[in-house]
Structure 1
């Protein structure tokens, strides 16, 4: 039983489909099936019940699903922490940042860190960056808060000021401001929960609690595609102030209007890192540099 076999098993167990699992692992279904069968042979038991159109986990497979994720996570942490030790304290800081974070905030974080060391920056959704943080692949990341992992520490950086984006011919377009209650019976679209499940769910729950009844998430996280949806359908969406370099820039078009939301939910951006790595020279340097830049506390964007 080896690491590759466990990764292949877990992908199949999560997808319950060899084709989808193979695509996820960037391989073809035939070698993936062979690897899983080799694992079953090594264990002396079947992990899947293979049907014509679907597969199911056996009791042994269910036990593997319960245990394997933590084993792989610990292996990934060990591998990355060994590489960190080998690279030494003068290595580059590995930073992640949400691709939806306002550029002004990201630039300030990177500039703060690069005063003392080189920084390598990775862009991606908050959920992906958080996974990379826990695996030790990143030293710190700028993501949307809150984070529900007790092993992750966070430094709040900014809170969002929301705007409502709509077509120029919308009945609300001439307003100077809008409250959530004004949107109660309108169709409003938003980013998918997968961007950062906890933060996005809290955002959604607060909007619903304030009376927004027809809020739905779109399957994509591309602000240009959401703008195209608004233009085509007349639905509304939420965006950020354009002066921050946020997503409102896609609405810099005479076909759209954006109006401030007076009672929008609390939504935060922060720097996160693993608590057990706080003594690492690079992690500590990143946190200290950013904390010094944000000495006056969280900004509003």
Structure 2
């Protein structure tokens, strides 16, 4: 089995269309089909069920798809380790990020790390929460940040920081008559929310807040990124819900952040394996705690 087999499998599994996968890989469809057939023959099972109208993964294909991305993650990490060593770094921290973590908090943390331990390389991996948890179990990541404490056995979840949840409102919207907006009023308007697959922790926290009133939210769009959420809000398409610092640092003009009429916060957790950790990781965790303590003293 070669890497080209795995790359071709991933393209077809994600596109579920051989012609589109071939176009994505810049190859003809016939060689792509032969490569998939070679892979299936080596594995001794079909990975795709094909008809004249559709292509779908078999059960074996779905199981294979769960594992193949980790091959490329491990390969990328091996390449990065060699590059870091050649650049003079003595060690490396692999950090997974889920739920669109606040760039303001993260940048302050990274600046402190670079100041205190410039010989430690830090690598980031933006992944869904489920993939982060698997990676922590399988030593693909040293730690992670997510907006969820619903973790598996063997993973520790420690609060890293919290920030107020704000309503992102288009300029000149009638809700701006309120200095603090009643949640019932927010739910009278369409909302753009995070995609549960990519923003799982965020969605759980926001859903708990929305369920505190007896109204069903009108979610018109689910997005993978805060930037798209803010673009839709600025265009007057819907209201958004995000952390105060996230709205403050967004690039879109024409957006006003308003607090809700009740206590509503988004909490970010640091996730790590429940095992003895190297000293560099322990020092990193201490920095996270020190930054949160500093914030509490100044607010």
Q: Who is 1:230 aligned against?
A: 233
In 2, Cα distance between the equivalents of 1:43 and 1:188? 46
2:120 to 109, 118, 121: 118
Q: Is the 8 A contact 2:143 2:272 kept in 1?
A: yes
TM-score (norm 2): 0.73
Cα distance, 1:217 vs structure 2? 5.8
Q: Is the 8 A contact 1:185 1:213 kept in 2?
A: no
Cα distance, 1:236 vs structure 2? 1.7
Cα distance, 1:161 vs structure 2? 0.6
Q: Who is 1:65 aligned against?
A: 62
Size of the alignment, in residue pairs?
Answer: 292
Q: Is the 8 A contact 2:166 2:242 kept in 1?
A: yes
In 2, Cα distance between the equivalents of 1:149 and 1:238? 27
Q: Who is 1:247 aligned against?
A: 247
Q: Deviations over 1:239-277 (max 9, x none)?
A: 332xx4x22344884x4433211336553112223335x
Shift of the 62–293 alpha-carbon distance from structure 1 to 2, 3 Å rule, reads: same
Q: Is the 8 A contact 1:179 1:262 kept in 2?
A: yes
Q: Who is 2:102 aligned against?
A: 102
Q: 1:207-218, aligned counterparts within 5 Å?
A: 207-216=210-219, 218=221
Secondary structure at the aligned position of 2:197 is classed as helix
Q: Is the 8 A contact 1:158 1:300 kept in 2?
A: no
TM-score (norm 1): 0.72
Q: Who is 2:285 aligned against?
A: 287
Cα distance, 1:89 vs structure 2? 9.8
Q: Who is 1:167 aligned against?
A: 170
Shift of the 236–120 alpha-carbon distance from structure 1 to 2, 3 Å rule, reads: same
Q: Who is 2:256 aligned against?
A: 257
The more displaced of 228-237 and 119-128 is 119-128
Instruction: Tell me the C-alpha RMSD between the 2 structures.
Output: 4.3
Matched, 1:32 2:29: no
Secondary structure at the aligned position of 1:145 is classed as coil
Q: Is the 8 A contact 1:273 1:283 kept in 2?
A: no
Q: Is the 8 A contact 1:164 1:238 kept in 2?
A: yes
In 2, Cα distance between the equivalents of 1:23 and 1:205? 43
